[in-house]
Every structure is written in C-alpha cells, then in structure tokens.
Amino acid sequence: MASADQLKALFKSHLDGDEQHFYSVAMQVAAHEARKGHGKLAEELRALIDEAKRRSGPKQPTPISRPRGELAGLLAASYPKGRLADMVLDTVLEEKIQRVIREQRHAARILAHGLAPRRKLLLVGPPGTGKTMTASVLAGELGLPLFQVRLDGLITKLMGETAAKLRQIFEATGQTKGVYFFDEFDAIGSQRGLANDVGEIRRVLNSFLQMIEQDQSHSLILAATNHAEILDHALFRRFDDVLHYQLPEQDQSAALLRARLTRYAGKGVAWKHLAETAAGLSYAELTRAADEVIKEAVMQQREEVSEAEIQMALEERRRLMARLYQVV
C-alpha cells in the first residue's frame, strides 16, 4: 500500500491541478509496490498512468496563476515565452542550463528512482549578463509561470515581518509549481533602519537560506546576485548548482550583435571588428546599442542599417558606460 505521505501528495496534487506532480507521485507509488514484490500491481499502475498521460494529449502548460491576497504584493507573475536559443552563453553555462531543463523534463522518472532533479540554483555575475533572462528562459522552456519576488514588498522595517513574508512565499512554492526568482537576494535583510545592524541582516539572510534548504516543493528556486564576494561555502551548500555569468568575450559579443542585427544589416558586416569596439560592454548594453540602431532606421523608414551606424552606437554606449563608472 502507498504510504500516508504518498496518498496525501496524490490527493493534493490532483486538487491543485498539478498534473506533473500527480504523475510523479503515482510513479513513485508504482515503484514502491514493485520493490515490495507486488509486480503485477506495479504493472497495472504504470499502465494506468501511461494511459492517462496518453489521453491528456500533448502537455498543456500549467494555467497562469495569479497570486492573490497578500501574495500579490510579494510575487509578480508572468508567462514568458523565452527560449534558450535566444541566449548567447559560454559553453559551461549553456550546458549547465541545458542540464537543468533536461532534468526537469525527466523529473517524473528521476523522482520515481528516489532521486531529485536540480531545481535550486544560485546565479552569480555582473549586471546585464543574462541572470534575469535565464529565469524567464527556464520558465519558457518548461512551460511554467515565472514568479518574480518583489523585494520592495518583501523588505519591511521589521525583521519578523520579512521572515513571515518569506515563509508565505515558500508555502506558495509547494502550492503552485513555477520558477520562483529572488533577484538581488543579497538585499534581503539590508532594509533601511537595520542597515547598520550587521547581525540582524545576517539573521534574515540566513533564515532565507534555510528556507531554501528546507524547501521540498517541485518548483524551481532561483536566487541571483551581482556580488560574487558575498559567496561563502555555507551558501553553495544550499543550492543544487551555481551558475557563473560573465561579460561577453569577443566571439560572444559578435554572436549577439549578429543575432540581433542580421535581419537589418547587409552582408559583409565585420561583426568581429564591431565586437572589438564593443569590448567591455555587457550583453544588455550590446542589446541596447543594437536596438538604438534599429529604432533609428525604423523611424526613417529604412530597411537597412550600416556597419558605421552600428559602430557609432557601440561607441556611444561605451562612452556612456565610461562616464557612469567615473561617477560611481
């Protein structure tokens, strides 16, 4: 017989409309029976599951869930359509993201063997390198809603309140499967009024990390930070994987410009050469420079952009960034 926990999980996932989770628990029950020597029952269960899956046809995306009540102020829901192919990535990072997607796609099978697919990820790297984009690509590829945690809603003057709100979010991860994205999570705990109390900040941050560690849901939990220096080993331990983002190398800058502009630029544009001009710019800044060029062409009702224009837009971006960094 299925354990009490399995029965509860079956009922709950059915009532929540979480089909995937329902199947994965059902498979666990079948595996459990098989281990106990109830081969025939296990076979019958598997056949029932296969039949149900077949009848439900191609996988429907989970219907969009609108956070209600207090959660609405804490989570911004969206349903992104992004794809991994839209991103320019170094091979290590690309393989890591691909692995997360593969493991999620085979989650039912992995869980049926008593293992867990990767789902708690730490994203580290400078601004404009694709951390937020990764959260939306994972949601897009997996057909899951993206829930961006609103730090402004989360962080209050009172530490106890922040912790209670965090707890609400971690209840939601079990109720609605999705990609939960804590952007700039290092700001948690650093609320005004406590800013000088390092001990207090540490405590809120620690309770957040503990909640991540204790989370037993099937949701993906992503935490992103621009500050690599805050990483210590205690932090790594809580996550299934750490993704490191970097500014683009020349090849990657060229790839991004080409992907963005190839439709407008004539043949024979020296992308490599343009990428040299772009050295030091992030993916986000490259994207903005490319969009400026397209915008200008669109306004003038031109179908084409020239290499010189792209060059100028990149130089302008670089000057802008140089000035910004001087000020800071």
Ligand X SMILES: Nc1ncnc2c1ncn2[C@@H]1O[C@H](COP(=O)(O)OP(=O)(O)O)[C@@H](O)[C@H]1O
Answer with the entry of Mg ion, ligand X, none that 178 interacts with (C-beta below 5 to 8 A by kind).
Answer: none
Among 54-62, 128-136, 173-181, 196-204, the segment contacting Mg ion (CB under 5 A)? 128-136
CB of 247 to ligand X, least distance (A): 10
Q: Is 132 in the site for ligand X (CB under 6 A)?
A: yes
Tokens representing 268? 């024979």
Q: How far apart are CA 310 and CA 234, in angstroms?
A: 45
The binder of Mg ion chosen from 132, 162, 173, 176 (CB under 5 A): 132
Q: Which is nearer to Mg ion, 21 or 131 (CB)?
A: 131
**Single-letter code of the amino acid located at 164:** A
CA-nearest of 188, 185, 186 to 204 is 188
Using CB under 5 A as the criterion, what x/- string covers residues 160-199 for binding Mg ion? Answer: ----------------------------------------
Answer with the entry of ligand X, Mg ion, none that 128 interacts with (C-beta below 5 to 8 A by kind).
Answer: ligand X
CA-nearest of 294, 288, 297 to 316 is 288
Residue nearest to ligand X (CB): 130
| Backbone angles phi and psi of 13, in degrees to 5 | -65, -35
Q: How far apart are CA 106 and CA 142, in angstroms?
A: 11
> How distant, in Å, are the alpha carbons of 92, 130, 211, 316 from that of 259?
20, 15, 40, 20
139 and 179 in contact (C-beta within 8 Å)? yes
Q: Is 287 in the site for Mg ion (CB under 5 A)?
A: no
The binder of ligand X chosen from 80, 127, 153, 280 (CB under 6 A): 127
Instruction: For residue 28, give every residue at least 6 positions away whose Cβ sits within 8 Å of its Cβ, in sequence order, or none.
Output: 6, 111, 112
Q: Is 2 in the site for ligand X (CB under 6 A)?
A: no
CB of 252 to ligand X, least distance (A): 8
CB of 184 to ligand X, least distance (A): 9
Contact positions vs Mg ion (CB under 5 A) = 131-132
Contact positions vs ligand X (CB under 6 A) = 87-89, 127-133, 245, 256, 283-284, 287
